[in-house]
A and B are shown apart, each in its own frame.
Chain A
Amino acid sequence: MKKVPVQFTLNGEDKAEFVESGATLLKALREKIGDTSVKAGCQQGTCGSCAVIVDGELRLSCLTLAERCDGAAIETTGGLAHGEVLHPLQRAFNEGFATQCGFCTPGMIMAAKALLDGNPQPSREDVVEAISGNICRCTGYEPIIQAILAAARANSLSAA
């Protein structure tokens, strides 16, 4: 199959790869770049575990063509922590026991980040809406909703 060159930034770092034409961003990130923080779940746009942020917007990487991301800025959970210092969302998920088997967690956190980036003080309904495309099998969602609200509160405290 025809290979196409793709350049983008991943968590602020320049990346350049040849991908098969028609390959998904999910495949490019996991198999070409090696960022396995992006999870391959249903691979048909239903479970949300592959969610990443592309140019500030939440995208399902399993339904996004890699070649359409040329020149884009891509964010994944792999880039959230600074060394040992966790991102407020990661900390809130950890402290709030909002992750169990962990497979949905990267997608949940990226959905939450996309929300908080645009709406730093969301209501509970905003949070529910933001993660409504993400399936979790273990937690029953409540600890995830609470963790996202806790991260928003922590952000407002550190901003004040």
Chain B
Amino acid sequence: MAMRQGRGVAAVNYPTGMNLGGDPTQALVHSTPTGNFMVSLSSVDLGQGMKQIMAQICAETIGVPTDRVIVDTADTDTGPHCMGTFASRGTHRAGNAVIAAAREARQVMLEVAAEELEVNASDLDTDGAGNIHVRGAPQRSISIFDTALSAHFKRGRSISGRGMFLIPRSYPDAETGAMKPSTCYAHACTVAEVEVDDETGEVNVLTVKNIFEIGRALNPKMVEQQLVGGSWMGISHALYETTEPYYPSREHGGRDFNEYLMPGPGDLAQTEVIVLERPAADGPYGAKGPGEMCANPQIPAIANAIFDAVGVRIDTLPITPERILRALKANGTENAGLVAH
């Protein structure tokens, strides 16, 4: 009987979105009469922060403060087409669509301002605070509020734009089978340290140190939040969660929350998260998808750490005490007197 410590490392290469048959998202942007901007999407915010990020992207592209942007993700029956919020694609696909729509809207906005200021639209710039001015002559300016009023009530223009982003379908090469499953990859590496009780098979994760390469972090606090929570979820997937503990048999599957194990606040590993920013060539302002990847590398890292600690390779998740004890027994390395029945 002994507590045995081990350390494991794992790295992942994670595609942002997919292109099985093409992977499109569309967006529409229009201004209200008072120069606020409305982004219409079908991409759902389920707590991951879609609305905040899309507001930032639209604001940055048009040149207004973020609080001047309203994002409506209300209804897939009526909104512009989105393939959905999955495969870590939301920021990348919808973000690119919003940039395209916001660029078109910005162009109309500048054209209206140009008429008001009697200058060429290509000479105009925004100050990011709600005003448009002549480049090099900031005193020649008009507010976006007045520009929108002019468009709506005087010039009969719609300050609006359409955004389409489509990763086209990639077909496998007939000779080699090579194809391009994704255009954008995020990366991560985790080092996990565990303690395994070779009498009970219980695993205690002592530390998880993660480094994530996610393109540009458009909202660093929200990225951190996603990565810290995801790191915990990776531990949970590795050691606790399953609806089918004896897959493919459905026996002993959890039927409710009482029978679905997840680590609680008392089971936290010491967690470290480092973000590496390497902007993606085709990402909105360089962003990749950190969404699902954040809960992946912990799983193989913990499996490797368990191997390092007690010498057994567990290749079925979750890595339960029962699986570890069975593997130790098969290995002939279990503590004979205590495990044999």
A69 at the interface (CB under 8 A from B): no
Interface residues, chain B, with chain A CB atoms under 8 Å away: 46-48, 221-222, 224-226, 228-233, 256-258, 262, 264-266, 268, 271
Contacts of A143 in B (CB 8 A): 225, 228-229
Closest 10 CB pairs of A and B: A101-B47, A140-B232, A46-B257, A42-B257, A141-B265, A140-B229, A139-B229, A97-B225, A138-B229, A128-B265
B264 touches A135 (CB 8 A): yes
Question: Which residue from A101, A135, A142 sits with its C-beta under 8 Å from B262?
Answer: A135
Contact of B265 among A41, A44, A138, A144 (CB under 8 A): A144
In the complex, what residues of B have CB within 8 A of residue A139's CB?
A: 225, 228-229, 232
**Cβ–Cβ contact B228 & A46, under 8 A:** no
The one of A47, A100, A134, A145 in contact with B229, judged by C-beta atoms closer than 8 angstroms, is: A100
A135 touches B257 (CB 8 A): yes
Q: Give 7 new A-B contacts, CB below 8 A, not counting A46-B256, A101-B46, A143-B228.
A: A44-B258, A46-B258, A132-B265, A132-B266, A139-B229, A140-B231, A141-B232
A-side residues, CB < 8 A to B, are 41-42, 44, 46-47, 97, 100-103, 127-129, 131-132, 134-145
Chain A residue at smallest Cβ distance from B46: A101
Decide: A140 near B271, CB < 8 A? Known: A128-B266, A132-B264.
yes
> Is A142 a contact partner of B228 (Cβ separation < 8 A)?
yes
Q: How far is the CB of B258 from chain A (nearest CB, A)?
A: 5
Instruction: Name B227's closest neighbour in chain A (CB-CB).
Output: A140
Per a CB cutoff under 8 Å, which of A42, A46, A47, A140 touches B268? A140
CA distance A138 to B228 in the complex (A): 9
Cα separation A47 to B48 with both chains bound (whole Å): 21
Tell me the complex Cα distance, A131–B266, Å. Answer: 9
CA distance A128 to B263 in the complex (A): 12
CA of A134 to CA of B271, assembled, Å: 20
C-alpha spacing A127/B233, complex, angstroms: 21
Give 6 A-B contacts (CB < 8 Å), ordered by A residue.
A42-B257, A44-B256, A97-B225, A100-B229, A135-B257, A136-B265
Q: Are A97 and B221 in contact (CB under 8 A)?
A: yes
> Which residues from A are CB-within-8-Å of B268?
140-142
Q: A145 — which chain B residues lie within 8 A by C-beta?
A: 265
Distance in angstroms between the alpha carbons of A46 and B255 in the assembled complex: 13
| Min distance, Cβ B222 to any Cβ of chain A, angstroms | 7
Cα distance, A127 to B222, chains bound together (Å): 24
Query: What chain B residues lie within 8 Å of A137 (beta carbons)?
Result: 233, 262
A100 pairs with B225, CB closer than 8 A: yes
- Of all chain B residues, which has the CB nearest A97? B225
Residues on B with C-beta less than 8 A from A132 are: 264-266
Which residues from B are CB-within-8-Å of A46? 256-258
CB distance from B34 to the nearest CB of A (A): 23
Shortest Cβ distance from residue B206 to the other chain A in the assembled complex, whole angstroms: 15
Residue of B nearest to A103 (CB): B47
List residues of chain B with CB within 8 A of the CB of A135: 257, 262, 264
The distance in angstroms between the C-alpha atoms of A134 and B224, with both chains bound, is 22
Residues of chain B within 8 A of A47, CB atoms compared: 257
With both chains docked as a complex, state the minimum distance between the C-beta of B298 and any C-beta of chain A, in angstroms. 11
Is the Cβ of B224 less than 8 Å from the Cβ of A97? yes
A127 to B268, CA, bound (A): 13
| A132→B263 CA distance, assembly (Å) | 10
**Interchain nearest-CB distance for B204 vs A (Å):** 15
Asked if A100 meets B47 with Cβ closer than 8 Å, knowing A46-B258, A143-B228, the reply is: yes
Tell me the complex Cα distance, A141–B47, Å.
Answer: 16
Give bound CA distance, A128 to B222, whole Å.
23
Docked-complex contact B265 and A131, CB < 8 angstroms? yes
Chain A residues whose C-beta falls within 8 Å of the C-beta of B48 in the assembled complex: 100-101
A141 CB → nearest B CB, Å: 4
For residue A47, which residue of chain B has the nearest CB?
B257
Distance in angstroms from B179 CB to nearest chain A CB is: 34
CB-CB under 8 A from A140, the residues of chain B are 228-233, 268, 271
